[in-house]
Amino acid sequence: MAEITDKPTSVVGRPGINPATVYKETNKSKKSICIRILSLIWDTAAKPPEERKFLNKIDGTILVYIMLSYLIKTLDAGNIQTAFVSGMKEDLKLYGQELNLFTTYYNIGFLVASHPAMLMMTWFRPSIIVPTMEIMWTVFVMLIAVAKDANTIYVLRFFVGVGESICFPGFGRIIGSWYKPEKLAKRTSLFDISGALANMISGYIQAGVYSSLNGRGGLAGWRWLFIIDGVVSLPVAFFGFWALSDYPTTTRARWLNE
């Protein structure tokens, strides 16, 4: 009679079982678990190789540009408050409602231009119109550095608002056209986080600029803030000419193939 035992039997030497196959299946199972965990953090990890490569391209170009541009937009829109408490008020003798009016004129420009900006994204390629308007608002932001009175800043802030009017609705439109619904939540949240990040670091940037550049070249620290913002913004705008790829049906992006 055969001996009965509870000891596990090794697969080595047993007919019909290849140890190499068992090893591969075990590794495959471990890899699958890792992929599932990664996919909870970033959804492309669990996609087929071809789709994953495509999504990584979109994330590394369109999404990165949109996040950088929206961060810059938020900095350029909000730096007036930082500059105001860092010497602008005293230098330009702004002791009335000027700060409120700076925001008001910006909002007027933003509201007036928002609808035309969306129409332009229909008539013209987003890869051209969006970076062009970014260059436009960057120039007007930098011109605030040489403003001598509040009236000049009112005009400049109006045109900053006009240029930035394309950002929030335009970027939402671009993201929505390139991603499926189940992928939008993560991308939209990162887009929104970039704006919050800009608000968080604006004060630190001004503090660094003021301490290191105040009086340099005969310019007050608050004036250097607008110049530095412009210097940072321009490379992002030029990156947009390459990174933005219009819409899936009209794209001419060189970094995409059929």
Nearest-10 crossing angle of helices 98-123, 150-164: 30
222 belongs to a structural domain? yes
Q: What are phi and psi of 125, to 5 degrees?
A: -70, 130
30 belongs to a structural domain? no
Residues in the chain with pLDDT < 50?
A: 1-2, 7-13, 22-23
So what's the pLDDT on residue 102? Answer: 93
**pLDDT for 97-156, tens place per residue?**
999 999 999 999 999 998 898 888 888 888 899 999 999 999 999 999 999 999 999 999
Quote the tokens at residue 194.
């970039």
Three-class HEC string of 27-64? HHHHHHHHHHHHHHHCHHHHCCHHHHHHHHHHHHHHHH
91 belongs to a structural domain? yes
Q: Domains in the chain: how many in total?
A: 1
So what's the pLDDT on residue 154? Answer: 95
Quote the tokens at residue 77.
């829109």
160 belongs to a structural domain? yes
N-to-C CA span, the chain: 69
Q: What are phi and psi of 102, to 5 degrees?
A: -60, -45
Residue in this structure with the two tokens 């961060």, named with its chain if needed: 71
Three-class HEC string of the chain? CCCCCCCCCCCCCCCCCCHHHHHHHHHHHHHHHHHHHHHHHCHHHHCCHHHHHHHHHHHHHHHHHHHHHHHHHHHHHHHHHHHHHHHHHHHCCCCCCHHHHHHHHHHHHHHHHHHHHHHHHHHCCHHHHHHHHHHHHHHHHHHHHHCCCHHHHHHHHHHHHHHHCCHHHHHHHHHHHHCCHHHHHHHHHHHHHHHHHHHHHHHHHHHHHHHHHCCHHHCCHHHHHHHHHHHHHHHHHHHHHHHCCCCCCCCCCCCCCC
Task: State the number of CA atoms in the 13 A half-sphere of 235 facing the CB.
Answer: 5
Identify the domain containing residue 180 by its residue range.
49-243
> Is residue 245 within 8 Å of residue 253, measured between CB atoms?
yes
Quote the tokens at residue 129.
């119109």
CATH code at position 179 = 1.20.1250.20
So what's the pLDDT on residue 175? Answer: 87
So what's the pLDDT on residue 37? Answer: 62
199 belongs to a structural domain? yes
Whole-prediction pTM: 0.78
Conformational region of residue 219, where left means phi above 0, alpha means psi within -120 to 50, and beta covers everything else: beta
187 belongs to a structural domain? yes
118 belongs to a structural domain? yes
